[in-house]
Homo-oligomer: A and B are copies of this chain.
Amino acid sequence: MSLRIALLGLLSASGPASGYDLTKKFETSLAHVWQAGHSQIYPELAKMAADGLITVEAEGARGRKIYTITPDGRDALHRWLVGHSPSAVPRSEIALQAFLAPLLEPEEALAVLERMKATFEERLRELERLGDPRSKKGYGKYALDLGIRQARMAVGWATDSIADLKASGGAV
């Protein structure tokens, strides 16, 4: 369902696009929000067209198909945004590793936390490169802000957890 919504959202916000275009947008503007490769996107677009949510507006070179959102599609998107209360499906490899890290020897646990911290810092830098959400406009702004805060929070958590682990001398 969410993939479908993401595609409808992109078509609604940026206008007609091909599967290829949409795949690129997943790699760029949607990268920190939702993930999907072309092998998932192409079949989904076909199903959405069959369901009347989008239509092939034009066919370009190399068999390129340009999809447009239909009124039905806009409806479905609107209904989801207004009516769907998203659940934070708790399935995070990072949290799982954090959960289990205390099973390790203290030095090993420390190394794991340090590695995580480095990952978070890298992620934070990447998101900050995308621009300052306060000065940005349009759709994507709130999500970028959320991503940056998330990364910052994670760096802080890792820093404090490392300090805690060192202070306790591993006596968790």
| A residues with CB within 8 A of B | 2, 5-6, 9, 12-13, 30-35, 77-78, 81-82, 84-104, 108, 111-113, 115-116, 119, 123, 137-143, 145-147, 149-150, 153-154, 156-157, 160-161, 172
Contact = CB atoms under 8 A, between A and B. Distances in A.
A88 B123 contact: yes
Contacts of A34: 90-92, 95-96
A12 B99 CA distance: 13
Contact of A102 (B101, B112, B142): B142
A104 B88 contact: no
B100 A9 contact: yes
Contacts of A100: 5, 9, 13, 77, 81, 139
**Most B C-beta atoms less than 10 A away, residue of A32, A98, A108, A138:** A98
Copy total for this chain: 2
A157 B138 CA distance: 17
Contacts of A87: 93
B172 A138 contact: yes
A150 to B, nearest CB: 6
- Shortest Cβ-Cβ A-B pairs, 8 listed: A86-B93, A99-B143, A102-B139, A9-B100, A33-B95, A153-B153, A98-B143, A98-B142
Contacts of A93: 2, 84, 86-89
A142 B84 CA distance: 31
A8 to B, nearest CB: 9
